[in-house]
Amino acid sequence: MIQSNTDNSDSNSNKKENSDSSDYIRVHLIISGKVQGVYFRKHTQDTSRENNVYGWVKNLLNGDVECVLEGLKSNVDKVMMWCHQGPPGSHVDNVRIKYEEFIGNFNDFNIV
């Protein structure tokens, strides 16, 4: 079963004036389930780069994967949708999504 928890508590603070579907956004994700030992980070990096999304991904000690995604909303949405499925061999139980203020300080997508 896949669940998504979205924190929109400050969603208005990350939108530019005259916003539309091409806005740049930043999201912070925590992905849980069978997401380590299945190349989740590498596939996230590849998917992000294919979609011109920047940021980072890392394993957490509790077995979850954490990532920050920045880019055009439509591109970030594609990567977030992918994160709900994951690569072959993974099983995503939950994706916690927190929208944050877009910073734009990344120029690549890295595994950290």
Positions marked catalytic: 41, 59
Token pair in block for residue 37? 């030992």
Gap between the Cα atoms of 69 and 49, Å rounded: 11
Measured distance CA(42)–CA(44) in Å, rounded: 5
Residue 50 corresponds to which tokens in the numbers above? 């294919």
The answer for residues whose C-beta is within 8 angstroms of residue 105's C-beta and 6 or more apart is none
